[in-house]
A and B are shown apart, each in its own frame.
Chain A
Amino acid sequence: MSTTAEPLVEPAGETRRVRWPMGPWRAVVMGAAVLFVLSLVQNMTAGSDDLTSSGTAGAALRLAVPILLAGLGGLWAERSGVVNIGLEGMMIMGTWFGAWAGFEQGPWQGALYGALGGAIGGLVHAIATVSFGVDHIVSGVAINLLAVGATRYLASEIFVDLPGGGENQSPKVVGSVGKFSVPLLSGGFDTWDPLANVERRNWFFLSDVAGLLNGMTSNVSWLTLIAFGLVAASAWFLWRTPFGLRLRSAGENPVGAETLGVNVYLVKYVAVVMSGAFAGLGGAFLVLEQATIYREGQTAGRGFLGLAAMLFGNWMPGGLALGAGLFGYADALQLRSEESVHALLLFIAMGGGAVALWLGSRRRVVPALVALGIGAAFFVWWMVSDSVDRDIVRMTPYVTTLVVLALATQRTRMPAADGLRWRRRAAV
């Protein structure tokens, strides 16, 4: 996410490229391995059933969605070459409009208006950066400030007169979008719920897998499904359609794209407005599915976490989903069970050991020792403590992102022209 081209501060070291996401089979195997260790830890520690319970999985999914949508917004914008720091502000717009429409009309309208509210923010950002050539980050910060002010003002004008509303909160949203469960697997439409059955049996590994799957397939809100669907749809749109190809080309080499007749202005505008719409939808989701009201400050940095998930996922939708899922999982675990959080320490310790073995087998001695050291440190931490302080847990998504960035920035594949203040080159 460079602003102007910065060629000068380049750390030494090779730039080996890593493809992300990895092939599907490899991902499945790695996922299974991770789950295996997780079940192990769950069985070894007391009171940590929530590590792999369906309740946690369900909560994780729900908590991941706003981050996911914000990250999706970031992805659309950055893929077209525009850095969008204003996601937080656009999300805030989404919370306000979502609550207002949700109260006045209904939850579905709330979702729609939330997206529209965010899209307005996106439009402002697009005008400033694409048409006027303002620095992307400056514009994003300005939008964040503006969104806070605008929603505060609107709340004092409109919510104050409504029942249950006030200067910094709205009346309750009426109704909800409804939930969905997969039939035949998770009891949808009153059919069997074999997954829940297996989960109850407490069989090693199998029950854990069943628990996680069950959480992700039963009582899932339709909005959640839509959100994940949007991620898949984005992947299809950006990689399989002509417009998507042109959008991504604007983020890689706008000058070259222009010589081929791509309307770079148009694709950037579309990308940034959509980016705002996604963030707005994420905000609306926060209101509709979690809080049922608008409350000032409820986004709490999720817009930035979305950016972090996007970076974690190397600007790819699959990686983004994984990142959002991880952040949601950590959040869910923390809300539900302190012992489980503590057990996570052991998990990380074992993970560190496994990584050290793998690195050692590739003869990368120093990194292997570092991984071993980290694993050992976490093990000690697990041994000497009973629980992990809330605030420390709060830090984890951000620390994780920093660590990932520190290790992998040189290997990530940012859109080549991200952040470039581009101007159309007309024939001279």
Chain B
Amino acid sequence: MSHRSVPVSHEEVDVSEQAGATPAIELVGITKRFPGVVANDGVDLRVETGSLHAIVGENGAGKSTLMKILYGILKPDSGTIRVEGQAVHFRSAKDAIQAGIGMVHQHFQLMDNFTVLENIVLGAEPRRFGATIDFSRARARILELSEQYGLAVDPDVLVEELPVGARQRVEILKVLYRGAHILILDEPTAVLVPHEVQDLFASLADLTDRGVTVVFIDHKLDEVLAHAGRITVMRGGRTITTVTPQEVNAQQLAELMVGSELPKPSTDTDFSPGSAALETRGLTVRSGERLLLDDVDLVVRRGEIVGIAGVEGNGQHELIEALLGLERVDAGSVLLEGSDVTGWSTRERRSAGMSLIPPDRTREGLLLDAPLWENTALGHQTERPYARGLWVDTRGARERAREVVASFDVRTPSVDVPAHALSGGNQQKLIIGREMVMQPKVLIAAHPTRGIDVGAQAAVWEQLRRARRAGLAVLLISADLEELLGLSDVLRVIFRGRLVAQLDPQRVTAELLGSYMTGVGIEATA
């Protein structure tokens, strides 16, 4: 693995064209904690007026939290915010709007059944005679803005009927209409197709030409390098550096994002996988025109951990649903230990030995108000020891729950405590424990250590390693590179529903992995 030297600055990089001009935004020492996690740890950021400033970092680096603080949805625990030189305290989004900041969320907040015009003026409606909405004035202003910034929209169309790129333009117009001169965009290109991306950046260039400041969060390094004026890299809740695209290339950026040294992969060289436990052939899932899963061929053998790396939203969710039988597939098949289970129900698959650690434990993995022993049964409630024939075996379930609590170090006063009372880490340990204890043939672990503390995380990793040694086949889907590299025997990358690479975790470099995950590698090899 090579290291190249990268200019890392710990103070602002003074490359501003308007040297000495008041920055549009200045954040100093912003810190924000959530239970169990420090999302922002003394973040400093300086954004110059009229610049197109990108913020990059992996999932969990703290970017979204920082932007929410800037937009007034969250309050920082400490630190100062200065907008155009003035220190500000936002009590709500309304205050931020007053200060001229507008946010375009990754998940649009539009009213589908309203027209474009209605969506844009909501909350700031122009009045006629003080009573009615002045539609013509609104329409004129919208067309004016649209013209000025190259954001083509038809004010009288229902948002429901618009394609994604057009909806985004509506969101941008929404903030411009309210006089925002600092725009924050959260992953704006995540849902766009290539030509819409071009249109978007053209509009953003128009905006910055006219003095509007644009800050955007982006994963796709090629876009960032092609369009941004300044780039700030975040990692682990801190800002690492701010550079211009002239100073770095994609590989260096990727390296900065994950840390110039990749975590050491597992030294567990005792790797002799058995036969295929889980297999997919040509798995395809469509939604209208879009391919959510594109001809996926996957093999997970016994005693092997296959890791799937990828930015969230590239098909991981659909893959899990297809494997478990929660959603129908349009083509392809799923095989469990050689048998074709494509037509089987979820319950049948689980009883046959397919286990899941769901990506969102409170939503899909737990009954929060139910006691722990009932939660232990979840997913296997028709099998022993949780059930005997038609009956729930309360005693068996409680005993098993106690076993799980003991073996997997779930800290709780008893098994009668409701699940919501446990910390995230202990909830996750319970979920993993209840799956492992059923001695599954295949374990699909999705983000198994998301949102839990260090100690619990290490425990979970140890459990997975132990299971693998005992012959379990594990499919690990994660956004945590340390986890993937540390545990996987085989590393695959998913991008736009396709498995685009098969890599050796012992040998892969940060830049190579980063490029595949962000789609740069595809263009390079195309």
Chain A residues engaging chain B, CB cutoff 8 angstroms = 17, 240-242, 245-246, 248-249, 252-253, 255-257, 259-262, 413, 415-416, 426-428
Contacts and interface: CB of A to CB of B under 8 A. Distances in A.
A212 to B, nearest CB: 34
A253 B125 contact: no
B110 interface: yes
27 contacts: A241-B133, A242-B127, A245-B118, A245-B121, A245-B125, A248-B114, A249-B111, A249-B114, A252-B111, A253-B109, A253-B111, A255-B109, A256-B110, A256-B111, A259-B93, A259-B109, A260-B124, A260-B174, A261-B94, A261-B124, A262-B123, A415-B113, A427-B91, A427-B92, A428-B73, A428-B74, A428-B75
A262 B122 contact: yes
Interface string B112-143: 11100010011111010001110000000000
A45 B74 CA distance: 72
Contacts of B111: 248-249, 252-253, 256-257, 416
Interface string B79-108: 000000000001111100100000000000
Contacts of B133: 240-242, 245
A134 B80 CA distance: 40
The range of chain B's interface size is: 20 to 34
A63 to B, nearest CB: 32
Contacts of B113: 252, 413, 415-416
Contacts of A427: 72-75, 90-92
B73 A260 contact: no
A427 B95 CA distance: 11
Contact of A241 (B92, B114, B131, B174): B131
Contacts of B90: 427
B160 interface: yes
A260 B91 contact: no
Interface in B52-93: 72-75, 90-93
A316 to B, nearest CB: 11
Contacts of B72: 427
Contact of A260 (B74, B112, B123): B123
A256 B112 contact: no
Contacts of A256: 109-111
A43 B110 CA distance: 53
A39 B90 CA distance: 68
A252 B91 contact: no
Interface in B497-511: none
Given A261-B124, A426-B92, 6 more contacts: A245-B121, A249-B111, A257-B123, A259-B93, A259-B109, A415-B113
B89 to A, nearest CB: 11
B123 A240 contact: no
A261 B125 CA distance: 12
B-side interface mostly: loop
The 10 closest A-B pairs by CB, nearest first: A256-B109, A260-B123, A252-B111, A242-B125, A261-B123, A261-B94, A259-B93, A240-B132, A253-B111, A427-B92
Contacts of B92: 426-427
Contacts of A240: 132-133
Contacts of A249: 111, 114, 122
Contacts, number: 66
Given A257-B122, A261-B123, A17 B160 contact: yes
A22 to B, nearest CB: 15
Nearest to A8: B326
A315 to B, nearest CB: 9
Contacts of B122: 245-246, 249, 257, 260, 262
A418 B113 CA distance: 13
A259 B127 CA distance: 21
Contacts of A245: 114, 118, 121-122, 125, 133
B306 to A, nearest CB: 30
Contact of B110 (A246, A253, A261, A262): A253
A268 to B, nearest CB: 16
B93 to A, nearest CB: 5
B125 A252 contact: no
B124 to A, nearest CB: 8
A261 to B, nearest CB: 5
Interface string B355-381: 000000000000000000000000000
B74 A252 contact: no
A264 B92 CA distance: 15
Interface in B215-238: none
Contacts of A416: 111-113
Contacts of B124: 260-261
Contacts of B160: 17
Nearest to A262: B123
Nearest to A19: B158
B97 A261 contact: yes
Given A259-B109, A262-B122, A252 B132 contact: no
B259 to A, nearest CB: 30
Contacts of A246: 122-123
A352 B118 CA distance: 40
Nearest to B161: A17
Contacts of B91: 427
B176 to A, nearest CB: 14
Contacts of B118: 245
Nearest to A415: B113
Nearest to B72: A427
A338 B97 CA distance: 65
Nearest to B123: A260
A262 B94 CA distance: 10
Contacts of A259: 73, 93, 109
A428 B33 CA distance: 11
A262 B74 CA distance: 18
Contacts of A426: 92
Interface in B339-363: none
A248 B111 CA distance: 9
A346 B123 CA distance: 52
A41 to B, nearest CB: 38
B392 to A, nearest CB: 23
Contacts of B123: 246, 257, 260-262
A48 B86 CA distance: 80
A249 B73 CA distance: 20
